[in-house]
Structure 1
Amino acid sequence: MPAPGPTLSKAAPPRRSVPPPAAPAAPGAAFARNLRHNLTAHGFLIGAVVCFALFSWYPMVREVFLAFQKTESGQTDWVGLDNFATVLNDPAFWQAWRNTLLFTVLALVLGFAVPFAAAIVINEFRHGQGYLRLLVYLPVMLPPVASVLLFKYLYDPGYGLLNELFGVLHLPEQQWLQDPDLSMLSVVVASTWMNMGGATLIYLAALQGIPGELYEAAELDGAGLLRKIWHVTIPQTRLILSLMLLMQVIATMQVFVEPFLLTGGAGPEGSTTTVVYLIYQYAFNFNDYGAAAALGLLLLVLLSGFSAVYVRLSRAQDE
């Protein structure tokens, strides 16, 4: 027999080569890579920042400088607090603030309560809520000029629909926009109709988030509609109501479009002159941009306080 040959050992698996350690990334390489991956998003973000910088931040900064400057014959000089003294010594300044506060109070009575009541009514319907939401939001989609022209027709003392209705009811006709005692109320009614749609939808969303068990428990306790609203609806929507109240105060303090288009701005005996309209007069009627900027800065400081409260409440809601 032939001698047995040498036995072959089991072949060992090939060794895998270990790659050398990667060289450290150059400074800024990670940033450049992320920038390339998010180039589209950064492009949209940069566009928004540029728009805000040009049309929001720059005008505010420029207003601060203008409030302490005066330009005459093409020459600009620093005048300190002279523009503020000019504004404060103007009799129209205090009248404008009184009118603005009156508009704010009336707008809170109507523009704050009416959308909330409308949301409660819509929430009670089990069918057709979509059509009702569309109906209540339609005035917001109309151009402000079209809405104002509609109300000018309604308020017309000769052939206006309101006076026609008063005649049918044997009531005395009214000079809605010509009477100093009625002009501001007429402006508030028009403004409420034009802007209540958004607030109504926000209130409706808040109402639909209230658990139905709370209303069932209130009904078992014998609570009627008003008691359910007072003890269930309002406490459950208290934070939303507070936020909307502050937002409405901030918005109504800047009212301009409605009185400007309905009564020409000043109104009979200055009854609808608001702070923003007075700023418009200083800038474009009197060519006193320094006084306009000073008054705008005063309004900005006041509204910044309300905005700070709004931000604080918003954070509380998020928490």
Structure 2
Amino acid sequence: MKTAENPAPAAGPRPAAPAPPAPGAPAAGRGQDSPLRRKLADQSRAWAFLIGGVLCFALFSWYPAVRAVIIAFQKYTPGSSPEWVGTDNFTQVFHDPEFGAAWRNTLTFTVLALLLGFAVPFVMALVLNEIRHARAFFRVVVYLPVMIPPVVSALLWKWFYDPGGGLANEALRGLHLPTSNWSNGADTALVSLVIVATWANMGGTVLIYLAALQGIPGELYEAAELDGAGILQRVRHVTIPQTRFIMLMLMLLQIIATMQVFTEPFVITGGGPESSTVTVLYLIYKYAFIYHDFGGACALSVLLLVLLSLFSAAYLRLTRGGED
């Protein structure tokens, strides 16, 4: 009796063998997390830039500010260990004969610089916005003083204001007009410094105003012209309302900057004549590097910081309330 043999498997197509991966192609299971890796890499770079910026601010801005507040309550001179004295430094600077003059000169300088340095750049921006030919040339000419180092600019104006052979008095003599003492006169020194500061710093302000003016829709001016509005009326009812936010922010920044004026009094007048150009920052310099009293210098710095902080907070609150 024959044993039944195993039946042969049914004939049919065999499954195709998997094709080998192409050269350079990622293996199976790899590359699926590449979007996650890219996201982590982007976040790592962002955090690296953020941490670097924070460290720079902490090292060069925040630490000196905190250190100055601490030294304001200490007797600190080079070569000696700090000694806590409480509010003695503030009492000392309050009784300084130059303390009142420094604050008075600083506030006067700020008001004059605001009246002159706030109106002139705006008018110049209006003029540049209307110029149709050689726009780039005039913008470079207006911005050129900003590119000159502040000390060089102050030295140029010091020669310009020389009462003997300075260019200012030479021009007045050529026009048969009376000459002036300019920065050498107690009555004219502060105004002379305001002119220098306005000339040296208005270039950036003019360009900011010019950018704001070019962002105003032309349809508003066309509608104003159809209503019969003149140039001054268009500026009052169209230009100023459309640039109001920029004007308010620049006003705040200018007040903060002019309250810290130092280069012009230091280079041109040296605080004179008769302490007529001694500012708060110049008095801080004298306490630190002439009197070697770093405690008094830091006390004055803290007073200036508190005043500017209170003013900035009140200013921002008032302007925000006006916008609401």
TM (norm. structure 1) is 0.84
Aligned residue number for residue 210 of structure 1: 216
| Aligned residue runs from structure 1 range 39-58, under 5 A | 39-58=44-63
Aligned partner (choices 220, 231, 242) of residue 248 of structure 2: 242
Q: Conserved in 1, the CA contact under 8 Å of 2:74 and 2:83?
A: yes
Q: Conserved in 2, the CA contact under 8 Å of 1:250 and 1:306?
A: no
Instruction: Give the residue type in structure 1 aligned to 2:286.
Output: Q
Shift of 1:47: 3.2
Q: Conserved in 1, the CA contact under 8 Å of 2:154 and 2:263?
A: no
Shift of 1:55: 1.3
Secondary structure of the corresponding residue to residue 83 of structure 2: strand
Aligned partner (choices 73, 96, 103) of residue 90 of structure 1: 96
Whichever of the two has the greater Rg, that structure is: 2
CA distance in 2: counterparts of 1:313 and 1:34, whole angstroms = 43
| Aligned residue runs from structure 1 range 105-120, under 5 A | 105-120=111-126
Task: Determine whether 1:303 maps to 2:311.
Answer: no
Secondary structure of the corresponding residue to residue 110 of structure 1: helix
Aligned residue number for residue 27 of structure 1: none
Q: Conserved in 2, the CA contact under 8 Å of 1:103 and 1:252?
A: yes
Aligned residue number for residue 259 of structure 2: 253
Q: Conserved in 2, the CA contact under 8 Å of 1:163 and 1:174?
A: yes
Shift of 1:87: 1.0
Instruction: Give the residue type in structure 1 aligned to 2:97.
Output: P
Task: Determine whether 1:161 maps to 2:167.
Answer: yes
Q: Conserved in 2, the CA contact under 8 Å of 1:279 and 1:292?
A: yes
Compared with structure 1, are the counterparts of its residues 310 and 131 closer, same or farther at alpha carbon in structure 2 (3 Å cutoff)?
farther
Q: Bigger shift: 38-47 or 176-185?
A: 38-47
CA distance in 2: counterparts of 1:36 and 1:219, whole angstroms = 56
CA distance in 2: counterparts of 1:10 and 1:122, whole angstroms = 88
Instruction: Give the residue type in structure 2 aligned to 1:57.
Output: W
User: Which digits, 9 at most, give the CA deviation of each residue in 1:31-68, with x for residues without a partner?
Assistant: 99976555554444433332222211110010111011
Task: Determine whether 1:187 maps to 2:161.
Answer: no
Secondary structure of the corresponding residue to residue 274 of structure 2: helix
Instruction: Give the gaps of 5 or more residues in structure 1.
Output: 15-30
Q: Conserved in 1, the CA contact under 8 Å of 2:287 and 2:297?
A: yes
Q: Bigger shift: 246-255 or 40-49?
A: 40-49
CA distance in 2: counterparts of 1:117 and 1:255, whole angstroms = 24
Aligned residue number for residue 121 of structure 1: 127
CA distance in 1: counterparts of 2:315 and 2:140, whole angstroms = 28
Shift of 1:233: 0.9
Aligned residue number for residue 279 of structure 2: 274
Instruction: Give the residue type in structure 2 aligned to 1:268.
Output: P
The total of aligned residue pairs comes to: 298
Q: Conserved in 1, the CA contact under 8 Å of 2:112 and 2:191?
A: yes
Aligned partner (choices 232, 235, 244) of residue 238 of structure 2: 232
Instruction: Give the gaps of 5 or more residues in structure 2.
Output: 1-6, 17-35
RMSD after superposition: 3.1
Compared with structure 1, are the counterparts of its residues 32 and 297 closer, same or farther at alpha carbon in structure 2 (3 Å cutoff)?
farther
Q: Conserved in 2, the CA contact under 8 Å of 1:243 and 1:313?
A: no
Aligned residue number for residue 66 of structure 1: 71
Aligned partner (choices 152, 156, 169) of residue 158 of structure 2: 152
Instruction: Give the residue type in structure 2 aligned to 1:288.
Output: D
Instruction: Give the residue type in structure 1 aligned to 2:301.
Output: G
Compared with structure 1, are the counterparts of its residues 147 and 244 closer, same or farther at alpha carbon in structure 2 (3 Å cutoff)?
same
Shift of 1:71: 3.1
Q: Conserved in 2, the CA contact under 8 Å of 1:111 and 1:192?
A: yes
Q: Bigger shift: 268-277 or 211-220?
A: 211-220
Compared with structure 1, are the counterparts of its residues 204 and 63 closer, same or farther at alpha carbon in structure 2 (3 Å cutoff)?
same
